[in-house]
């Protein structure tokens, strides 16, 4: 049926079959919720942030595909995207993105004024990111800001203010985004060089792998030190060990810089985020 085919195109547009993208956003946001609340934050805020994360990531995909449509057709991995092939028009993709963003905003309206204000800043960074790769040598840093906005929003929604801890956790999360999105950029490095697109993988050159490892270690170290006075117990420290083991595993996947290895490493990053969240949530559960 025609409507079913159209729905399949919209699902492909928002990467419905690839949940890794929104999971990368979700785990640090939920971790911030648990820390801000000192444990379970309540069903209302949990629902707002889980659904809001999925909706905003989906809206971001719509915006990104419209912005990159003329580049994507020249990249092996992205040539079949609905906007790139013309199966969905720019108007249809932007309409879907706007609807998803409005639904996410409706959820935020159930929180407080500070969280609503931060959601506007988050949207602005989300809109800016697709164009950053044309002008910024490390556009992954812009993505890191966009992907980290859920952290101060979580603190604002729970506490009504923004303690230093929220910004420190956001900084640590920035390093994680730099690590996994550089792995992602390594997949398309040959195509991006040909097209003149700027990415961290190109900027770092042969230093990509060691910098990725340093970024992983910076993320885990900043979170471990920042949370030491808030999250304690063997569950949290076990989670750190598991996260470090995953960093070592990622090294084995990216050291040869193959497309397959780098893409696999990127797709599995959500398990590292889950490990950190599970350690935080578990430590509060067993206190």
What confidence score (pLDDT) does residue 67 get? 83
Query: Nearest Cα to 181, choosing from 123, 132, 227?
Result: 132
Cα–Cα distance measured from residue 2 to residue 75, given in angstroms and rounded to the nearest whole number: 29
Alpha helix ranges (H) inside the chain = 2-13, 20-37, 43-67, 69-72, 82-85, 90-108, 113-132, 139-148, 150-159, 164-187, 189-195, 200-204, 208-226, 234-254, 259-267, 269-285
- Tell me the pTM: 0.93
Task: Provide the number of structural domains found in the chain.
Answer: 1
Domain of 277, CATH number, reads: 1.10.357.140
Range of the domain at 68: 2-285
The tokens for 29 are 């946001």
* Per-residue burial over 145-180, b = 16 or more CB atoms within 10 Å of its CB, e = otherwise: bbbbbbbbbbbbbbeeebeebbebbbbbbbbbbbbb
Residue 131: predicted pLDDT: 83
The pLDDT assigned to 1 comes to 63
pLDDT less than 70: residues of the chain: 1
pLDDT of 127:
85
Q: Please give the backbone phi and psi of residue 222, each rounded to the nearest 5 degrees, phi first.
A: -60, -45
Q: How far apart are CA 170 and CA 150, in angstroms?
A: 9
Contacts 24+ apart (CB under 8 A), 194-202: 194/74, 195/71, 195/74, 195/75, 197/71, 197/133, 197/134, 198/133, 198/134, 198/135, 198/136, 198/137, 198/138, 198/139, 199/133, 199/139, 199/140, 200/137, 200/138, 200/139, 200/140, 200/141
């Amino acid at each position: 049926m025609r409507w079913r085919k159209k729905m399949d195109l919209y699902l492909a547009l928002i990467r419905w079959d690839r949940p890794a993208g929104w999971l990368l956003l979700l785990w640090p946001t939920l971790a911030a919720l648990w820390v801000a609340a000192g444990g379970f934050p309540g069903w209302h805020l949990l629902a707002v942030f889980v659904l809001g994360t999925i909706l905003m990531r989906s809206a971001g995909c719509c915006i990104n595909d419209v912005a990159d449509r003329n580049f994507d057709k020249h990249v092996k991995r992205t040539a079949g995207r609905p906007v790139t092939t013309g199966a969905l028009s720019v108007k249809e993709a932007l309409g879907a993105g706007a609807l998803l963003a409005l639904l996410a905003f409706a959820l935020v309206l159930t929180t407080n004024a500070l969280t609503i204000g931060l959601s506007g800043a988050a949207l602005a960074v989300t809109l800016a990111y697709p164009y950053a790769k044309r002008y910024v040598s490390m556009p992954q840093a812009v993505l890191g800001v966009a992907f980290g906005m859920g952290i101060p929003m979580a603190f604002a929604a729970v506490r009504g203010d923004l303690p230093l801890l929220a910004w420190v956790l956001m900084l640590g999360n920035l390093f994680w985004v730099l690590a996994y999105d550089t792995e992602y950029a390594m997949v398309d490095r040959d195509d991006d060089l040909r097209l003149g697109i700027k990415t961290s993988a190109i900027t770092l050159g042969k230093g990509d792998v060691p910098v990725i490892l340093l970024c992983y270690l910076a993320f885990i170290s900043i979170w471990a030190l920042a949370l030491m006075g808030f999250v304690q117990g063997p569950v949290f420290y076990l989670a750190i060990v598991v996260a470090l083991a995953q960093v070592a595993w990622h090294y084995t996947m990216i050291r040869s810089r193959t497309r397959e290895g780098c893409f696999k490493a990127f797709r599995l990053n959500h398990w590292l985020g889950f490990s950190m969240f599970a350690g935080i949530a578990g430590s509060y559960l067993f206190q």
